[in-house]
Structure 1
Amino acid sequence: MIFRAFGRLLLQAVPVLYIVSLIVFFLVHLAGDPTVMLIPDDATEADRQMLVAAWGLDQPLHVQYLRYMTNILHGDFGLSYRYGTSAMPIVLERLPATLLLTAAAMAVAIVIAVPAGIIAALKRNSAVDFTVSGLAVLGKAMPNFWVGIMLILVFGVSLRWFPVSGGGSLAHLVLPAVTLGTSFAGDLAKLVRASLLEVLKQDYIRTAYAKGIPDRVVVLKHALRNAALPAVTITSLHVIALLGGALVTETVFAWPGLGSLIVQAIYTKDMAVIQIAVFVITIMTLLINFLTDLLYRLIDPRIQMQ
C-alpha cells in the first residue's frame, strides 16, 4: 500500500513540477533584465549586449524555456548569474540549514502549544484557559520580524545570552527558532484545546473515567491520540509554510538558509537559483504531504492512504 501511494506521489509530482517551473520561469523573466545587476556601472551598452548573448537572454522566452527544460532533463539545472557556478549545489548547500531551523521551530511550537492546549482544555473557562487563549492570539498577531528584532534587543544586545546573526552553533539557532515557533504555537495550542474538548465529550472517554482509569492515562493515552489528527494536519501545513516562508526570519538573523538565499537571488535576479530553490521547496512539500498521510495511518489504522 505504501509503495502504491508513493507511486501515485511520483505521478502527481511530474505535472506539479512542470507547472511550477513554467510559472516561476515567466515570473522571474517579467521581473526585469538580470544583466542590470551583473554589469559594473562603467560598462558600455556593447558590454551588456555581449553578456546578454552569452547567457542566451537575447532569445525569445519560449526558446529560453525549452532550452531550460531540456537542460533539466539532462541533469543541468543552470548556472547562477551571481556565483558563476551550477545553481543546484548552491541551493542544496543551504537546504540543511533551513531544514534544521524548521525542525527547531516546530519543536519549540510543540513544546509550548501541546501542554498549553491540554491544560486549557482541562481547565475550561478558568483563568488558565483565558490566559492560554489570550497568549495564543497574541503570539499569532505579532509579526515574525518584530518578534525577531525584540528577541535580538533583549537576549542578544542587552543580556548577551545568544548570538544575533549567522549560524554555526546551536546557540545561533535559538532566537530564530523561537521567532518562528511562537507564531505557530498559538494556532496549535488553540487547535489542541478545541480538539481535546471535543474528544472528551465522547462516550468512551466517560466510560474510561467510570472504570476508574487515572485522569492522566485517559487524557494522554486515549483522548490526546484521537485529538491528534487535526493537529497533525495543521502541523504539516505549517512545516510547508516554514520551508517556503522563512525568508524574513532568516534575513533578520542572517541565518545561512534557503530563505536568505532566495531573497538575495530575487534582489540580483539570479533566475537559476530562484527556479531551483522553488523546485526544491515544491519537492519537499510533496514529501511532507506523503509523510503526513503515513502519520495519519500510524495514529489511526482505520484511515486508508489515498
Structure 2
Amino acid sequence: MPTINTFGVIGGDERMRYLAASIAADGYPVCVHGFENLGPCRGAAETTLSELAKKSSVILLPLPATRDGLTLNAPYAAAEIRLDDAFASLFCNRTVYGGMIQRLVASSVLWREIEPEDYYRREELAVGNAIPTAEGAVSIAIQEYPGTLNGAKCLITGFGRIGKNLAIILRGMGARVYAAARKKEDLMRMRAFGVEPLTYREITQRFDVIFNTVPARVIGAPALTQQDADTLLVELASAPGGIDLESAGRLGLHVVQAQSLPGRVAPKTAAEYIKEAVYNMLEEA
C-alpha cells in the first residue's frame, strides 16, 4: 500500500463511523467530519471539513455519496454539506473514493480533474454485502410473516449473490425454497443448491414469502393474484424494484421495502467490507 499520511472520512451512516474506527485500529491516522450528532468516533480526530481536507491524502466519502445530488449523504452532520465547486475544490490532488458516485461527479466540473473512484463497483464488496443483505432479509421475514419459516414455501426471484445466500439460509431453516431466473445456467445452479427452479412465467402458485432481488419488473399482476393476504413480499432490489407495487397494493398484499440492508442491519461488518475494497484499490493504484 502506498504511503498515507491520514485518511479523511466524511459523512455517511454508521458504516462510515465504524470504517473510520477500523482504519484507526489498523494504525493509520484518521480525521472525520459529519458525525457530530452520532457521538465520538473511536480513534479518529473530529475536525472541520477544511482541516480534514488539508491533513488527509485519502478521502473516503459515503455510500451513496449523495441521495439528492445537492448535498453529501451525511445524516448525522450538524449542518448539511453542500455539493458545489467549493466542496470539490477541497480535494484537488487527493485520492478520493466514494460509493455510487455518479450524482456526486455531476455536481461540479472539478471532479473531472480529481477523478474519484467508486468502491461500490468492487466485486469483493458486492460479494460481501450479499451476506448481511440475505441475513437482514430473513430477519425481516421472521418478524413480518405470521408463521414460521420452517416449512414455509419461499420464492427467491433472481439467483445472483444475494439469491444464493438466501437459498442457503432458508434451506438451513427448513423452508421449502423455490427460485426464479431467466438464465438456463442459473436454473441448473439452483438444483445444485437444492432449490426448485422456476422461470418467471412459471410463478403461478401461492407462496408464503417472496424475496425479490431483481431491479426490473419480474413479479407482476399475474403472479401477485395467486398470493393471499398472508403472503409477505420483501423487496431487496434497488429502484425500480421487481415487484409491481400498484398491483400489490390493489390486492392488499404486504410488501416490505428492504433496500440497503447492510448499512441498516450490520454496519460494523459492512464497514469491514468497504475497508477491504478501499485497501485493495490503494494497493492497485
Which one has a larger percent strand, Structure 1 or Structure 2? Answer: 2
TM category (shorter chain) comes to under 0.3
Q: TM-score, normalised by structure 1?
A: 0.26
Rg larger for? 1
